[in-house]
């Protein structure tokens, strides 16, 4: 089965790290599944350090 590729916006990552019960955290938990492949860039990860 081919995995579906997903790109998660920086704002979603930051929101997920800030709240354990928010929609962004729920989304990331749902993506912790072998059906999905999350794609991140170095620039995107560096962008999270500004928050």
For every residue of 16-40, DSSP letters joined together read HHH-SSSHHHHHHHHT-STTEEEE-
pLDDT at position 9 is 87
pLDDT at site 47: 76
For residue 43, what pLDDT is reported? 84
pLDDT at residue number 51: 58
* Orientation of helix 23-30 relative to helix 10-18, angle to 10°: 110
pLDDT at 23: 96
- pLDDT per residue as tens digits for the range 4-48: 999 988 888 889 989 999 999 999 999 889 999 988 888 887 877
Q: Where are the domains of the chain?
A: 4-48
Backbone angles phi, psi at 7, to 5 degrees: -115, 125
The pLDDT value given to residue 10: 86
Give, for 5, the enclosing helix (H) or strand (E). strand 4-7
């Amino acid at each position: 089965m081919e995995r579906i590729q997903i790109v998660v916006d920086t704002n979603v990552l930051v929101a997920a790290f800030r709240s354990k019960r928010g929609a962004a955290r729920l989304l990331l938990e749902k993506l912790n599944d072998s059906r999905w492949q999350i794609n991140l860039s170095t620039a995107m990860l560096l962008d999270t350090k500004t928050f």
